[in-house]
Structure 1
Amino acid sequence: MQVMECAEGLCRARGVRLTDQRKAVLRMLCLSDKPLTAYELLERMRGVVKNPAPPTVYRALDFLLEQGLVHKLESLHAYVGCAHPDHPHASQFLICDACGEVAEVEDLRVAESLKAAGKAIGFRAKRPVVEVLGTCAQCSAKRHE
């Protein structure tokens, strides 16, 4: 899996450890066809890791977030693997509220616009993530059939 190789290389270069549990969480997020909550990850880990506990999952998620390998979708209280972890970026997410599909978009114009708007009022964003809820093309087509 290309994302895992990239993640391992990034962690090695940064001098941080991508432990087996962290790898397991990242792999599950990258292989999932939908965002996963911490408790969904915990359930999936039961077959992979001996006696997984919520703090273990949350620590792994915190590490992966810090390293830019996953994103937290605030509106869903769930996580997704990062589509391009090789560089820092502000992401925008298009979330289908019908099927749950999530598309990660990296549009610099959106990021710059938000940065300028914040600067104008003295606001500094910690984690500039934009989530747009709507209907994906596939679900829209189904509604019009």
Structure 2
Amino acid sequence: MKKPAKAAPAGHAHDHEHCVEDAIAAAEKLCAAKDLRFTPLRRRVLELVWSSHKPVGAYALLDSLRNEDLGSAPPTVYRALDFLIENGLIHRIERMNAFVGCSHPGEAHRGFFLICAECGNAEEIEGDGVSDTIVAAASSRGFTAREMTLEVTGVCSDCKSG
């Protein structure tokens, strides 16, 4: 499966439209493989989430969808977000109550994010060693870890040097 481009740090010029196109292609492929409906609303919500590397809140999505004929009622949009999360196409950034595109759609992985407090970009990173350490620590206490998201806030290199 073709992966969407990794999140670009703030200030780095890149073809962001390519990120959206890759995310849609990955979603179409995943939905076809799982025999899931990739409705126009689900597609549009995924496009909006991938429209930047900054996490986007549900209300911002609702505002964007308000003038479109796809059904912008809050429950409908939340169901689309739930579908995208359940199928590994987006992640929820709890601290911000917002959503960001998954750079590893369809792959079993943990959500680890570096979130810049200055520009607001969120970058998904690989964290197998981190998750192994947490799982081992939990296991030593008789706890079975199921889901894990790690959100690290700080300042990205572009904001630090800018």
Find the counterpart in structure 1 of residue 142 from structure 2.
122
Find the counterpart in structure 1 of residue 90 from structure 2.
70
**Quick check: 121-130 or 73-82, which moved more?**
121-130
- The answer to whether the aligner puts 1:47 opposite 2:78 as a matched pair is no
Find the counterpart in structure 1 of residue 128 from structure 2.
108
**Quick check: 105-114 or 117-126, which moved more?**
117-126
CA distance in 2, matches of 1:49, 1:125: 41
Structure 1, gaps ≥5 residues long? none
Contact 1:21 1:49 in 2 (8 A): no
TM-superposed deviation, 1:92 = 0.7
**Quick check: 48-57 or 23-32, which moved more?**
48-57
Q: Which ranges of 4 or more aligned residues in structure 1 deviate by more than 4 Å?
A: none
Identity %: 43
Deviation per CA, 1:25-71: give whole Å up to 9, x if none.
00111122311111111011123335511101110011111000000
Name the SS for the 1:23 alignment partner: helix
Find the counterpart in structure 2 of residue 19 from structure 1.
39
Task: Select 1:28's aligned residue among 31, 45, 48.
Answer: 48
Query: What TM-score results when the alignment is normalised by the length of structure 1?
Result: 0.92
- The answer to whether the aligner puts 1:8 opposite 2:28 as a matched pair is yes
Find the counterpart in structure 1 of residue 116 from structure 2.
96
TM-superposed deviation, 1:84 = 1.3
Query: What TM-score results when the alignment is normalised by the length of structure 2?
Result: 0.83
CA distance in 1, matches of 2:122, 2:101: 11
Deviation per CA, 1:65-122: give whole Å up to 9, x if none.
1000000000000000101103111121000111101110022111111111111122
State how many pairs are aligned: 142
Task: Report the residue type matching 1:86 in the other structure.
Answer: G
Task: Select 1:56's aligned residue among 65, 73, 76.
Answer: 76
Cα RMSD, aligned residues only: 1.3
CA distance in 2, matches of 1:114, 1:5: 33
Task: Report the residue type matching 2:105 in the other structure.
Answer: P
More contact order relative to length (CA 8 Å, sep ≥ 6): 2
Find the counterpart in structure 2 of residue 138 from structure 1.
158
